[in-house]
A = this chain, B = another copy of it.
Amino acid sequence: MSGNTFGRLFTVTTFGESHGKVIGCIIDGCPPGMYLSEADIQPELDRRRPGTSRHVTQRNESDTVKILSGIYEGKTTGAPIALLIENEDQRSSDYGNLGEIFRPGHADYTYWQKYGIRDPRGGGRSSARLTAMAVAAGAVAGKWLHEQYGTTVRACLSQLGDIAIPFRSWELAGDNPFFAPTDDVSLLAEMETAMDALRREGDSIGARVDMVAQQVPVGLGDPLYSKLDAMIAFAMMGINAVKGVEIGAGFDAIAQRGSEHGDELTPDGFTANRAGGVLGGISTGQDITVSLAVKPTPSIRLPRQSIDIQGNPVTIETHGRHDPCVGIRAVPVAEAMLKLVLMDAALLNRAQCGDVQVATPKIAGPDISVR
């Protein structure tokens, strides 16, 4: 109910600030009896970790996760699972002068107005650093979903600024620093060049992230108001810098006709997946397809106009360590949030409807069918 808990039955409650000593979370409601260790979580954190290429923030964090509770003899006990990550490279001095001014595009102004006080060190609570805990918790949810139903959740970058990235395969998305699902050498070079130019110019750019959940049990989602797609939209729009969310055909549905949009059924399954795997707020068993718009990082070196807390005009140039395209590292975060939504919906579904059967209707069409 308070803002720092995500989920209803599989809940994740986070704490910590960008430049505090630690960040952490408590996962509550995890079913008992699942093997779980740090080794299940760390690889997901490593994907989101800063400093892995020159295209993301150079803050140096190992993001080593520790499980503090909820495990006995290697298995979950049904008790809350606390996770902790130490902040190793906090440099509050980087942000020394930022406490008094409002950075454009940041939460500075709104936190100040809402709370009358704010921790300015690296954005404090509003920093994207906190998404690390979502990734950690998402790894736990993802493990359970995979063991229980074979569900997989994967995301990739499908657009970097105005550079479209045609989908080739999921495997390729792990082979480059952009999570781009491609091995097109010239395209990758174009992206590198664009990123290097941005860094030189001190500017930033937006991105599009696509994601797909496969082998999702049919029946997840609770109409009217806790529809699965509504929960997904809630989770996705809650990720830092996200400004738009689409399910299935998304905004393309505006110009589609009913005779084109509504996926037909045959004894062999659906003939298409413009619905994105959700009908009436409930999963169909088809792939769940989601697409996000991520805004450009607001922290840039170029001078910007703003005001200080007394209302005087100031000019800001942000020299901290930032991602020129925060959309890149949003990829593993989006995956994690989708896992959390599906996990929570799965538990809620078995509360009301008993144990879930996986029904995955065959669908026509390519591996990723959103766009």
The answer to whether B206 touches A77, judged by C-beta atoms less than 8 angstroms apart, is no
| Residue pair A28, B9 in contact (C-beta under 8 Å) | no
1/0 per residue, CB under 8 A from B, across A1-32: the answer is: 11111101111011111001111101011111
CB distance from A276 to the nearest CB of B (A): 7
Contact at B233–A353, with CB atoms within 8 Å? no
In the complex, the answer to whether B312 meets A351 with C-beta atoms within 8 Å is no
From B8, B126, B254, B306, give the contact of A280 (CB < 8 A). B126
* A79 CB contact (under 8 Å) in B125, B235, B282: B125
Contact of A77 among B30, B118, B293, B350 (CB under 8 A): B118
Given the complex, which residues of B lie within 8 Å of A15, measured CB to CB?
26, 68-70, 79-82
Q: Are A264 and B305 in contact (CB under 8 A)?
A: yes
| Given contact pairs A69-B16, A243-B246, A298 touches B105 in the complex (Cβ within 8 A) | no
Does A204 make an interface contact (CB < 8 A)? yes
In contact, A254 and B293 (Cβ under 8 angstroms)? yes
Residue A124, interface by CB 8 Å = yes
Complex formed: what's the CA distance from A43 to B155 in Å? 45
With an 8 A cutoff between CB atoms, is A109 at the interface?
A: yes
Q: Mark A255-268, 1 if CB is under 8 A from B, else 0.
A: 11111111111110
Residue contact A117 to B247, C-beta cutoff 8 Å: no
| B204 pairs with A282, CB closer than 8 A | no
